[in-house]
Each structure stands twice: as C-alpha cells, then as structure tokens.
Amino acid sequence: MKLLRTLTGPKDVLFRTIGRRYLAATPEEYSKRNYANNEAEYSTVITSLTAQRRYYLLRDVYDDMMLDGVKPERDTFHSLLIGTMKGARLQDAFFFRDQMKAMGVIPDVALYNFLISTCGKCKNSEQAVRLLQEMKRFEFMEVKPTGQTYICLLNACAAAGRVDRVYAIVRDMTAAGLGLNKFCYAGLIAAHKNKEPVTDDVASKIIELVEQSKGWSAVEAPSEIPVRSMMGMTEEELYNLPTAEYIFRRGGFLNRELTVYHVAFHACADLKNVESVDALLEMLSKDGKTPDVFILVQTMRCYLHSGDLQRGWKIFEDYMSSGKPPMIELYVTLVDGAMVGYTPEGMQLAQETLVSMNSRNFFLSPKMGSDLLLVAAGEKTGGYTIANLIWDMMQARNITPAFPAVQAYYDGLKVREIPADDPRLQLVSQTYNNLRQRFGGGGAGRP
C-alpha cells in the first residue's frame, strides 16, 4: 500500500489534496494519489500514524474515509481512540466518540476506558467522572463499568491530584468485591504527589502506600479489555504511568514487578525528597530486590535536582563500571541534573558527559535533544558551551529541535555578543523563523 505523499509534507498540502479529490481526476490519477481504498487499509494507516506519533493527522485520515464512503468498524474507532489517547487529544477523542454514536455503533467498555484514560492524560477528572456516569446509563446495553474502568478512573483522578475522589473510587471498588492491584496503589501514590498544595506528610503517605501494596495479588483485578482491542497498548499506557514509554526496553531497564516502587521513586524525585528516596532504596533492599535502571534514573534525578551533584554522579559511575549495558537515559539524566543552577562544576560535568556519550556512539533522540537544549538555553552567563554542543550534536544527525527549544536557544544567542553574520546565528535564526510560522509560543530555561 502506498501512503499519500502529502502525509509526509505540510498539513495544508493535505487539505488541498482532500479539497480536489473529486475534481476532474481520471481513475488512474485517483488511484495513484489515494493512499487507502478500504477499511482495512485505512486501519493500517491509522496504526502507522499512531506508531509515528503523528496523532494530529488522525482527524484528516477520518475525513478521507468519509469522502471515500468507507464506513469505520468498531476496531477502527478503537484504533482512533488509542491514537488520540496517546497524543492527549481530548477534543479529537470526543469527536470520534460522537461519530461512533452517529453511525449507530454503541460505544463499548474498551472505548469508554480509552476516553477516561485520555481525560487522565489531560488532567480533566470532571469529564472522566461524567463518562463513568454515562456508562452507567448504558448498562442495559451491556456497557457496564468493569474493574479496569474503575482503575482508569482512579488514575485519571490521581493525575489531577483529586485525593478525595480517588479514595471514593477505592471504597466503591472494595464494596463491589474488587481487590486493589499494583495499578491502584500506583494511582493512590500519584494522587498524593499531584495534590495541590503539597502537604507536609506526602512523603510519609507514599512510603506507607508502598508498604501496604506488598499484599496485592495479580488475580484481584485482571485485564478486562480484549487483547485485540488493546492493539499493542500496555496497561501502563492505559493508566498513564510514568513507566509507560519504557515498557518494551530491554537490558534490565524495567522490572514490571516493581510498578509501585517505580511510581513511588518517580513521585519522590518530582518532590526532590532525598530522605524518601533513601528510605525507598532501603525498603527495596529489604525486599531482596535490586533497583532497575528506571529506579536508578529517578534516584539520580532526585539527588541532582536537590543539588547533590556528587551522589548523582556516583550512581552513574557505579552503573557504568558494573559491566551492565550502558543506557542513554542515564547520560541524559546526568547532563540535565548537572545543569541545575548552571554552576561551573555542573556545566563542566554536563559537557564531559555529552562528549563521553557521543564518543560511545550514543545519540540524542529529537525529544531528548530538545529537552536538554531547552534547559541549556536558560544559561544567562558563561560561554553557552553546552547549548552550542547540544545544537551541534543534533545538527550532525540532521535533527531539528522542537520550537520551544529553538526559540530559547535563539533568544540566548541574541543577547550575547555575536556578529550578525555569524554562521551559527544565521542558521538558528533561519530555523527559528521556519518553525515560528508553523507553531509559535515557547520559552527558555527551567520552570
């Protein structure tokens, strides 16, 4: 199957192509530029776009289906909802839900779970609760909330820091005879961490929940969405856990048995609570478990962002000298944390780490590079060495950073004494202007 060439080009080209689809085209011309002809081929395109993280094109593909007179089946709507969920595109998700209803296809439990999860990604707990209420109105059509639905709702409310609602859901689950599994405890921890304002006892609550979670059983809350409806999506993705993007990493990066620990370490790193991280490490050791790479990354992040450069660096060095497979996330975490405060010592460590990483043939992904450039661009004094190095590393691989990072870098260059005809400044200026036409917005430095 040939994808429409305009899918890889500017979005306005796609619209122009759609607009002239039926205008004076011979069957042969139509066939050449049409990238899908039936429901199965459109489903393949949707899956491909989701895998490429080009979620913004899903509505365009759906419009093409309508123009072609192709009726989406239930599984196609599931694919569309999974894509909008992963892209946190709430408006598109409800559009597809409404389209599904308009075609006489009754939304099923899987679709509602995807919608609730999308609400969680967008921190819209009010809408997530309304979806549960809507499900209950359709119970006579066998659209009955399941244990998995309640876990989706629990984690959606947790993302918004609604501790009261999370505990209300726990009580409802308990009353219905549903046990709490590791994803429920993960949600409880996230709820306490995300609650605003942050309470003084949040760290002790997290430690307490980790201790309580040790009695959970995997059979207490099984997965209830059919495998074919999940379409390669994991429960970590469905519940919006911080480990979701690392599930398929190998080399000991993630031990899925440590889900509750993962969320707890991530929460304590966000809170910059060194004492809690140390307590969790001690608990993990007493349980006879070894920290995986995700836990090491969170521990490093906590130490570094709390200003303890030496302890963060030591974790990195101990791992690299252990003989285990090197992981680029450890390099990136050390570089990011070393730039906290933009101290001379930290910036020197960041530079040495980047050079070492590059010499070992580890390369920054577009997201990693953009995130690091955004932070490095916030340096107000000094030679801008790190920002320049990150920019050069990305240019060497023909990667254009995200617009906020480019804008921050450009703003930083402009305030320095650089000649107007400097090649670097001219290239960054050109990139900035090109991206500004497409996106706009952005800022520099750390929040």
| Distant-in-sequence, close-in-space partners of 282: CB < 8 Å, separation ≥ 6 | none
Q: List pLDDT tens digits, range 234-276.
A: 999 999 999 999 988 888 899 999 999 999 999 999 999 999 9
The lowest-confidence range among 12-16, 146-150, 221-225 is 12-16
Contact 116, 128 (CB under 8 A): yes
Mean pLDDT of the chain, nearest integer: 88
DSSP classification of residue 215:
G
Mean pLDDT of 181-193: 96
pLDDT at 312: 98
pLDDT at 423 over 70: yes
Residue 45 has pLDDT above 90, yes or no: yes
- Amino acid at the residue 41: E
Mean pLDDT for 332-357 is 97
Give the alpha-carbon dihedral of 53, 59, 65, 68, to 10 degrees. -120
Local structure of residue 222 (DSSP, 8 states): -
pLDDT reading at 206 higher than 70: yes
Average pLDDT value for residue range 138-164: 89
Q: What is the pLDDT of residue 264?
A: 98
Residue 252 confidence (pLDDT):
85
What does the pLDDT read at residue 321?
A: 96
Look at the block and give the residue holding tokens 């066998």.
Answer: 142
Q: Is the pLDDT of residue 395 over 70?
A: yes
Q: What pLDDT does residue 105 have?
A: 87
Question: Which range in 16-30, 206-220, 229-243 is most confidently predicted, on average pLDDT?
Answer: 229-243
- Give the Cα separation of 71 and 7 in Å (integer): 21
Q: What is the DSSP string of 250-270?
A: -SSS--GGGHHHHHHHHHHHH
Mean pLDDT of 76-104: 95
